Amino acid sequence: MKTIIKYVLFDLLKNKTIIVYALILAAITISVSGMGDNASKGLLSLLNITLLFVPIISILFSTIYFFNSVEFTELLLAQPIRRKTMLLAEYAGIAVALSIAYLAGVGIPVCILYYTAATLTLLVSGLFLTLIFSALALLIFVLFKDKTKGIGAAIITALFFTLLFDGLLLSFIYSFSDYPVDKPLLGLISLNPVDLARVLVLLQLDVAVMMGYSGALFKKFMGSATGSIYTVICMLCWTVIPLIIAARVFKKKDI
Amino acid sequence: MIEITQLTKTFRKFKALDNISLHFERGQTISLLGPNGSGKTTLIKSILGLVIPGKGTIKINGAAIKDQWDYRSQIGYMPQIGRYPENMTIGQVIKMLKEIRKDCKRYDEELIEGFDIPAVQHKTMRSLSGGTRQKVSACLAFLFSPEIFILDEPTAGLDPVASELLKDKIIKERANGKLILITSHVLSDLDDITSHIVYLQEGKLLLYKTVEELKKVTGQEKLNKIIAAIMQKNHPKEYLHHENNY
């Protein structure tokens, strides 16, 4: 397993897309932080950028990479290796590579510029988003046989969680506005990793109310500590559950 | 060595393999022949555990391979299309496979030297031509001196020199008592190396005989003539036409 992770990393760290991704993140981070002197505002902008970019890049890049390495996967599976080991090693390699890119692009500049507890939660939520969306990419890879369909599914998944979900949430709130929907809403938010990542950071900042309904709710119903623990647990589930399903499906897949 | 009983594989409605039973032994070189889509690759992949058959069993050295993985240490596989991680060098790919196969201590590097791989080992996989990639695949299949070789279109894309070298290697390994399974559309390449012919059509086993037997029955010497003669006898004309195209 370690061997495969190591060589996938070797390959990916030389990959141009990964390098460009890290550079773009770094450029954005530095330019955003140069615009205002308020650390909290800068972090908010970075949060929005993370929430927008990380999911879509992670899921798209991982899906394409998995589909492109089908033949190599086949060759490795002809070696005495368990399917599960092979699949999870490939996932680990790609997740680590994307995480390194994120840390290099956002983590290093942000830690140099303004280092607070909130900065750390921003990095944690960015990393979680990377792990979650590459796990979803893995799930897409095992569910679809065709590369084009797989990439389509990846784009739809990313758009669903970054854009569509909030719209649905709003229409839900609107249509049930006569009822106490606050608590069911908390449950619904757990269904979207992007919202979870947002909440995790917002709980550390004092601007929760400014960032829409979900942030305010979390702040109100749970204190910062319980809220943070709850979101972290939810995000862990979002990482692990797709991986478990993917490994199960892959066991029976024809390659 | 390999025992296949009533193997059936269906993809949705399409029957890729239909009730195939075969028995292969050491020291045989088996050519899997048949038109495109006749189930050759599916058969190979079933033996490798890449395709999971619907019905039937495959046994290697007496043990069923279902849900097993360590039996693959006895198999060297050369895929039809060799695609490797783009930014890895040839040297890295070979090293990676060696690290994965820690169980194997003695390497058979005859092909690596024969193809002069060390001279190009710093090149990235992206920059290689199809033929060179094919050479790398061949080297990897032979590297761990397995008991069974499964070669899917091994000579496609290789230059004549490399192709001859690979054929000599196959003959040598067979003399060592290894079992070799080959699919190829280039029948002339199989002439000197084959001992048995398996002919598949639409997932069904049409024939499994030794080359000697077939030579006697048909009175032909060359493999493409033999196949043509058989197809002519048993089947409508279009099959004959089909085979002669290769």
**Residues A31-41: tens digit of each pLDDT:** 887 776 677 77
Q: Give the per-residue pLDDT at A130.
A: 97
A9 touches chain B (CB under 8 A): no
CB contact under 8 A, B49 and A77: yes
CB contact under 8 A, B45 and A15: no
R_g of chain A, CA atoms, integer Å: 19
- Picking from A3, A11, A83, the nearest residue to B99 by CB comes out as A3
- Residue B77 distance to chain A (closest CA, Å): 7
Q: How much of chain A exceeds pLDDT 90, in percent?
A: 56
Higher pLDDT: A86 or A115? It is A86
Q: Give the per-residue pLDDT at B243.
A: 43
Q: Note the pLDDT tens digit of each residue in A208-238.
A: 556 566 666 666 766 667 778 888 999 999 9
Q: Note the pLDDT tens digit of each residue in B10-39.
A: 988 888 899 999 999 999 999 999 888 888
Q: Note the pLDDT tens digit of each residue in B47-75.
A: 999 999 988 999 999 889 988 888 999 99
3-state secondary structure at position A165 = helix
What is the pLDDT confidence band of residue A206, given thresholds at 50, 70 and 90? Answer: low
Q: Give the per-residue pLDDT at B240.
A: 41
Backbone φ/ψ region at B116: left (φ over 0), alpha (ψ -120 to 50), beta = left
Residue with tokens 């030579």: B215
Residue B45 · residue B56 · CB < 8 Å = no
- Report the residue of chain A nearest B53, measured CA to CA: A254
Residue B98 · residue B160 · CB < 8 Å = no
Indicate which of B75, B80, B83, B140 best probes the interface with A, i.e. most A CBs within 10 Å of its own CB. B83
A178 touches chain B (CB under 8 A): no
Whether A60 has a pLDDT exceeding 90, the answer reads yes
Higher pLDDT: B246 or A189? It is A189
Q: Count the residues in chain A.
A: 255
Burial of B178 (0-12, 13-18, 19+ CB in 10 A): buried
Chain A positions touching B39 (Cβ under 8 A) are none
Q: Give the per-residue pLDDT at B244.
A: 42
Q: Whole-angstrom Cα distance, residue B230 to residue B201?
A: 13
- Residue A158 distance to chain B (closest CA, Å): 26
Q: Note the pLDDT tens digit of each residue in A142-177.
A: 999 999 999 999 999 999 999 899 889 889 888 888
The number of angstroms, rounded, from the C-alpha of B202 to the middle of its chain's C-alpha atoms is 19
Indicate which of B10, B78, B87 best probes the interface with A, i.e. most A CBs within 10 Å of its own CB. B87
- Picking from A11, A74, A255, the nearest residue to B85 by CB comes out as A11
- Residue A230 distance to chain B (closest CA, Å): 38
Q: Whole-angstrom Cα distance, residue B53 to residue B213?
A: 31
Counting one residue from chain A and one from chain B, the pairs whose CB atoms sit within 8 A come to: 79
Q: Whole-angstrom Cα distance, residue B141 to residue B131?
A: 15
Mean pLDDT confidence for B125-136: 91
3-state secondary structure at position B18 = strand
> H/E/C letters for each residue in B157-222?
CCCHHHHHHHHHHHHHHHHCCCEEEEECCCHHHHCCCCCEEEEEECCEEEEEEEHHHHHHHHCCCC
Q: Give the per-residue pLDDT at B192.
A: 83
- Picking from B51, B85, B88, the nearest residue to A254 by CB comes out as B51
CA dihedral A221, A224, A226, A230 (to 10 degrees): 90
**Greatest CA separation found in chain B?**
53
CB contact under 8 A, A78 and B75: yes
Neighbour tally for B161: CB within 10 Å: 10
- Picking from A12, A15, A78, the nearest residue to B50 by CB comes out as A78
